[in-house]
Amino acid sequence: MLENLIDGLARGSCYALLAVGFSLVFGILRRINLAYGACVMLGVYAAIWLDRHYRFAAPWVVPVVVLVTVAAGVYVERLCLAPHARRAAVTSMAASFAVWMQLQEVATLLLPRHSYPFPELFTLPPLELGPVLLRPEQLLALACALVAAGTLWWLLYRTRFGLAVRAMTENGIGAACVGINIPRMASLILMLASALGGIAGCLIVSIDGQVTAMFAMWATLKGMIAAMLGGLDSLAGAVAGGLLLGGAEACSQSLFGPQYRDACSYLLLLAVLAACPAGLSVLWRGRGKALPAVGQ
Amino acid sequence: MMEGYALGVMANAGLLAFLALSAYVLAIAGEMSFGQQAFFALGAYAGGMATALAGLPIALALLAAAAAGALGAALLGLLTLRLRGLYFSMSTLAAAEAVRIMLERFTLRVDVGGRMVGPDGTAGFGDLRYLLERGLEQRGFVLLIYALLLAVLLLLYAADRARFGTRLRMVGQDPELAGAFGIDVYRTKLAAAALAGAIAALGGALYAHYNTYVEPANFDVMLGVHAVSYALIGGLGTPLGPLVGVCFDIVLMEGSRVFEGYRMIAFGALVALFLIVRPRGLLDERTVDRIGAALRRMAPARLIYRRKK
Amino acid sequence: MRTVAMVVAGGLAMAMGGAALGAPLQASLDCRPAGGGPVYDCLIRLADANGAPVTGASFTVNADMPSMPMAHNMRPVPAVPHGAPGVYQARLALAMYGAWRIKLNIARPAPDRIVLAHDFFDAP
């Protein structure tokens, strides 16, 4: 049970990173990027493909995944997000769905089979802590989530870049008036979100040991659910939502077996939204301004 | 039934149109629902059980399916319609997936005439032999699909011209303002959800009988997101919009067969580029207005376009 | 290659015209890659309820993916008799690898439809 829980928290950390990526894009750009999971999938698949053709040392896999994910993210941003006016969020969502199909096909062209093993990042043996066996991937996932959350907080609240981002969120026209380059900032935000997604992808795939062709859908869904659990424009909420999702899945796996894992995450989302329609972040932020609907 | 290619494409387009219209009704009300495939599934299973297990004629089965869809959508709407925007969309997706997972656990095998028929969990619900037993050819069933589609279109067109349609569009454009006019936003959206559920369920029942076999995996998130995309690409100005969206999609899909093996790449690029050029879809409200105005100019004022006061 | 053949078919039609009452048909599938992407040569064995092979059957074969049911409009391919009685052959050019549902649309001996599940994946 405890091992399941630790595994759940490790996976939850990955979900948290994915959720932060979603929350960044939605909270700041007011856009839903349905191609997010597909970008991460392409990054992972590209790394595996390169590894199969040109064997290289394990840790180099991570930068490859992140770079390809960011490149895919830039492509998505140029094609789906930038051309549409700020109010046409729904259209960019539909466009990102089309690009999801595209990127998924590119990935399956590279590697046509149903599942592929991911190269091992570590050759260290698992750590024994009392009765529990901790794998280094799980520890790394937990550490990464905390580091990423902390770095992001520092970036947003202690740097000029973060100040510009917050200004953009508050008042887009005002921010443009004071000289903030909104399109460039939008690109940078999406690159940041993609980088986080790439790291999350690496971690989750190394925890699982393999990647399947359903990865894009799975990552998009988990990221969105975790982001919603916490409240879509709250970073702390995204992290909390991710960990909660991971923990809940672990509990349901221990209690009901692995086949109900996905059902549990959906029911959890419905239950949380029924209780807190704007996500869990209202619990600590209080009822602020309502989240605008898609397209407004 | 020897299947013809063209008739098969037409049948699939017609069935997808039901799903697209279902998403369209809610989209006009301002809500993007990624969960209409759940009602498609409910209709498929309800309609299938009506003919295969209860031995009802197809007309009653279709009615039962539509009723099941409307009821299911209303119940789900009680929960989801309290949420706004993206939260609503994700909750419909989550609910639809929950329905699909429940269908994977649903087994109801009944002995009918010496054979076991009925839904069988993940193995699906096969043996929907109603049409085969009555010797209905593919052509006949495609006619049935399109006849019902036409009926739904006329219903939606009439609703659009009536007060309900106006209320729905007002709620979709600006819920606060609509509320200030005295419109009960929640009840209007609930009615729209029930209508959408009925349409999707009708399509689902037709799909089940056409295909003779359905399984829970058919009704996954992809189908739901596609439904919304058809409505968005076709435009929300008129009930013809989602149909145009389906045709556009199918034409693109079949056309990109040229890019053998790279079909989805070409298809995805075409759709994304199209949306840059026409962000509100092909038949958005403005275009429909313009077409209407052009028709009125072309014909003498007495002949066409009597607007009902 | 894994073959997961699941026969989901049942009895014969009791058509309005009063056709002969028959026994349920069964089918099984055996597919080999024919090279050049997801193209397969499939051998279909058609038998009646007692296992006796059905000769002289006339049917077409097409395929659909379970997860995106109406999107892949594959042209129906007529099946041709192939040597042994009850064995027919059809070449399926699929749009992509994955899990597919193969549909046999039978016109003779009597209108029927059999749906088989099969996974088509690239050889390792």
ipTM of the complex: 0.81
Q: Which comes out higher in pLDDT, residue A291 or A93?
A: A93
Task: Tell the residue number behind the tokens 């919603």, with chain if given.
Answer: A228
Total beta-carbon pairs less than 8 A apart between chain B and chain C:
92
Stretch among A215-224, A243-252, B236-245, C46-55 having the lowest mean pLDDT = C46-55
Compute the nearest-CA separation of C86 from chain A (Å).
Answer: 33
Rounded-to-integer distance, Cα B98 and Cα B76, Å: 12
CA distances from A217 to A16, A119, A231, A296 (A): 16, 22, 21, 26
Range 2-21 of B in CB contact (< 8 A) with C? 2-5, 8-9, 12-13, 15-16
Residues of A in contact with B92 (CB under 8 A): none
Rounded-to-integer distance, Cα A266 and Cα A248, Å: 11
User: Which DSSP helix (H) or strand (E) runs through A62?
Assistant: helix A61-76
Rounded-to-integer distance, Cα A142 and Cα A125, Å: 18
What integer is the mean pLDDT of A209-229? Answer: 88
Confidence of residue B92 (pLDDT cuts 50, 70, 90): very high
Residue A292 confidence (pLDDT) above 50: no
Rounded-to-integer distance, Cα A133 and Cα B15, Å: 52
Confidence of residue B303 (pLDDT cuts 50, 70, 90): low
Q: What is the mean pLDDT of chain A?
A: 83
Stretch among A185-189, B261-265, B281-285 having the lowest mean pLDDT = B261-265
Q: What is the pLDDT of residues C5-21, one digit of tens each?
A: 343 333 323 222 223 33
Q: What is the pLDDT of residues A29-70, one digit of tens each?
A: 888 888 999 999 999 999 888 888 887 766 778 888 899 999
* Torsion sign, CA atoms B193, B194, B200, B201: positive
Residues of B in contact with C15 (CB under 8 A): 133-135
What integer is the mean pLDDT of B187-196? Answer: 94
pLDDT given at position C7: 35
Confidence of residue C1 (pLDDT cuts 50, 70, 90): very low
Q: Is A115 on the interface with C (CB under 8 A)?
A: no
Residue A294 confidence (pLDDT) above 50: no
pLDDT given at position B302: 58
Chosen from A97, A234, A280 to mutate, greatest number of chain B CBs within 10 A: A97
Q: Is C50 on the interface with B (CB under 8 A)?
A: no
C-chain residue closest to B254, CA distance: C73
The strand pair at C39-47 and C98-108 is best described as unpaired
First to last CA, chain C: 9
Residue A243 confidence (pLDDT) above 50: yes
Under 8 Å between Cβ of B25 and B156: yes
- DSSP-derived secondary structure letter, A148: H
Task: Tell the residue number behind the tokens 């058919």, with chain if given.
Answer: B218
Q: What is the largest CA-CA distance in chain A?
A: 60
Task: Tell the residue number behind the tokens 């119940």, with chain if given.
Answer: B75
CA distances from B239 to A170, B28, B296 (A): 38, 10, 20
Task: Choose among B84, B95, B229: nearest Cβ to A270.
Answer: B95
